[in-house]
Amino acid sequence: MTTLSRIRIGSAPDSWGVWFPEDPQQVPWRRFLDEVAESGYEWIELGPYGYLPTDPAVLAAETARRGLKVSAGTVFTGLHHGPAVWEKTWAHVADNAALAQAMGAGHLVVIPSFWRDDKTGEVLEDRVLTPAQWRELTTQTERLAHEVRERYGLQVVVHPHADTHIDTEENVTRFLDATDPGLVSLCLDTGHYAYCGGDSVKLIETYGERIGYLHLKQVDPEILAAVRAEEVPFGPAVARGVMCEPPAGVPALEPVLAAAQNLGVDLFAIVEQDMYPCPPDKPLPIAHRTRTYLRSCGA
């Protein structure tokens, strides 16, 4: 077993079925904080802005009381639309980045916008970007990363995601090859990358210097095959259980973590088991079992 001395394990509101700032189906934020600490995690992400308290003093007191620290905030962006969406995007990013900075985080996870609605499946735009849109996506992401670093001291890590334009190996590598390594790193989500047909170990070994952050997640191969065949959108696929409890799915996390350890840099590896919607009593036992499993992997 590899001792994963460079890997810092954490979890996120996503593993408690939290996708929105407010939703009656989601566990209350205090319960999330209580249970993530009880599960043995020290690091968390902020989740959707407004789910956890946005007053840094309040959130700092609540996390410190439970022995928790914040690794990152998360934002959704539609930067392929170009300068026209910059002001609206920046207003959303600045709120998240300011809170993440105040909480001592070092990263901002940036997720591209969906090309189809993740609940209804309504097609919002073409799933393939034009060359002009690719140029906007890469240049505006670099601009965002520069501004976030200069103003808030955070590293932007872009998260390839199902039902977005940065999804498959082809699109991920195209994005990496077209962006400045000094500005833009990747949040490799092992589940989303497998969902879209990618090999996480290969990506880490090929683009190691671009891997700035990890999300640990697995997909159920049988459910994935069915949702692909039926062209089911990501949201309903999650409701079917396409993202499953490790180590039941793919990719195997031991070789992913070993490859990440071999990069010789400190990395966060945040557990995210997409579960929306889910019963309020479901996440805690899974979190306990997942933390035990990751310890068996050397984390």
Express each pLDDT in 169-194 by its tens digit: 999 999 999 999 999 999 999 999 99
Q: Is there a contact between 238 and 25 (Cβ–Cβ < 8 Å)?
A: no
Quote the pTM value: 0.97
- The sign of the dihedral angle between the CA atoms of 80, 82, 85, 90 is positive
Check pLDDT > 70 for residue 236: yes
Q: Is the pLDDT of residue 246 over 90?
A: yes
- CATH fold of 7-296 reads TIM Barrel (3.20.20)
In percent, the amount of the chain with pLDDT more than 70 equals 99
CB neighbours of residue 124 within 10 Å: 13
Residues 6 or more apart from 268 whose CB is under 8 A from it? 7, 8, 10, 43, 71, 72, 107, 213, 214
Task: Give the relative orientation of helices 131-152 and 169-177 as an angle to the nearest 10 degrees.
Answer: 60
pLDDT at residue 42, rounded to an integer? 97
For the stretch 253-265, pLDDT in tens is 999 999 999 999 9
Q: Which class for 239: exposed (0-12), middle (13-18), buried (19 or more C-beta within 10 A)? A: middle
Structure confidence at residue 3 (pLDDT): 84
Task: Please write the tens of the pLDDT for every residue from 214-235.
Answer: 999 999 999 999 999 999 999 9
Averaged pLDDT, 150-167: 98
Break the chain into its structural domains and give their ranges: 7-296
Taking only the tens place, the pLDDT of each residue in 87-133 is 999 999 999 999 999 999 999 999 999 999 887 888 999 999 999 99
Token pair of 84, please? 């026209």
Q: Tokens representing 233?
A: 């959108």
HSE-up (13 A, CA, CB side) for residue 119? 4
Would you call the peptide bond into 247 cis, given omega within 30 degrees of 0 as the criterion?
yes
Those residues whose C-beta lies under 8 Å from the C-beta of residue 254, and which sit 6 or more positions away, are 2, 297
CA distances from residue 24 to 10, 21, 145, 240, 280 in whole angstroms, order as listed: 25, 10, 34, 20, 11
pLDDT at residue 1, as a whole number: 67
Residue (of 163, 189, 200, 202) closest to 268 by Cα position: 189
The answer, yes or no, to whether residue 23 has pLDDT greater than 80, is: yes
For the chain, give the number of residues. Answer: 299
Q: What is the pLDDT of residue 19?
A: 95
Average pLDDT over residues 143-157: 98
